[in-house]
Structure 1
Amino acid sequence: METETLLSSFVKLLVSDVERSAAFYEALGFKRLRSDPPFLQLRWENQAEVYLVKAPAALPVEGRRGAGVLIGIRVGALSVEEVAARAQALGVSVDGPTRQPWHTREVVLSDPDGYRLNFIEPA
């Protein structure tokens, strides 16, 4: 069950369009907890929090978002196949599922701003 208790770790993503990004994440299965401009808070089960933040005009981030970073999310109740199917229904290219040597199955996809999301389950 989702709670309003803040998790100890989270990621903030600078995005070009907060509502477009929120719709994408919600279609994957994230739940919107609150919208307090300039932040919009989302949660994946009780495991991960993502804050979407409108990129300030003075901060040059175009072409620099997400380079070399995978945001890891344990799938929990869904399987990596279910997450992949939801992403593909949004027209997103998905890498995987791939069995990794560290005993996980993983899919990787990109959000509308190019952030790479790595959904993970035990193999």
Structure 2
Amino acid sequence: MEFYLMPLFVKMFVSNMEISLSWYKDVLNFQSVFELPDKDGETVMAHIRGKKYQDIMLVSKQSDREFNGEDVILNLPVDDIDKFVIRAAKTGAEVKEKPVDRPWNARELVLKDPDGYVITLSMIIDKGKAFDDVIDGAR
């Protein structure tokens, strides 16, 4: 696994680290970079990665404070949406929106993780399309 300074990453509070880690690995094919255990050996922080620069830090929720995962939407570029549709079906992941072609030259699948965080997987439809043509099409 390559180690680099992360130019940006998201920290997400999770209610159950084991369930969340499993979901990101099984549904989105993320890998664990580093897991920090507490004094009892339970993971309280996990740095996970999809593709290069798709780094997320999962942090165990330490209190009963309420949080709303829907207030955050993560957008991850992928090469093949259909692979993730199959993975979501196999794992029983919640599909918030089935794959749809957007006017901005993207095919997108929207999922919800176990804590309610919304994950949009986005694939370019026409890689040869010029940026100006994409913008004109989106208008």
Q: Quickly name the TM-score band, shorter chain normalised.
A: 0.7 to 0.9
Compute the displacement of 1:67 (Å).
Answer: 2.4
TM-score under structure 2 length normalisation: 0.77
1:118 to 114, 117, 120: 120
Compute the displacement of 1:81 (Å).
Answer: 1.1
| 2:110 corresponds to | 108
Q: Could you list the runs of 4 or more consecutive aligned residues of structure 1 that deviate by over 3 angstroms after TM superposition?
A: none
Q: Which secondary structure does the structure 2 equivalent of 1:105 belong to?
A: strand
In structure 1, what is the Cα distance between the partners aligned to 2:6 and 2:85?
A: 25
The correspondence of residues 1-123 of structure 1 with structure 2, limited to 5 A, is: 2-28=1-27, 29-37=29-37, 38-57=44-63, 60-61=65-66, 64-76=67-79, 79-94=80-95, 95-123=97-125
Percent sequence identity over matched residues?
28
Change (3 A) 1:120 1:24: same
TM-score under structure 1 length normalisation: 0.87
Residue segments in structure 1 that go unaligned for 5+ positions in a row: none
Compute the displacement of 1:68 (Å).
Answer: 3.9
Compute the displacement of 1:47 (Å).
Answer: 3.1
In structure 1, what is the Cα distance between the partners aligned to 2:32 and 2:103?
A: 34
Which amino acid letter does the alignment assign opposite residue 72 of structure 2? Answer: V
Aligned residues: 117
Which amino acid letter does the alignment assign opposite residue 43 of structure 1? Answer: R
Which amino acid letter does the alignment assign opposite residue 54 of structure 1? Answer: S
Higher-Rg structure is 2
Tell whether the 8 Å contact from 1:106 to 1:119 is kept in structure 2 after alignment.
yes
Compute the displacement of 1:93 (Å).
Answer: 3.0
> Which has more helix, going by share of residues?
2
Compute the displacement of 1:39 (Å).
Answer: 1.4
Change (3 A) 1:86 1:41: same
Tell whether the 8 Å contact from 2:78 to 2:121 is kept in structure 1 after alignment.
yes
Tell whether the 8 Å contact from 2:45 to 2:57 is kept in structure 1 after alignment.
yes
Tell whether the 8 Å contact from 2:7 to 2:53 is kept in structure 1 after alignment.
no
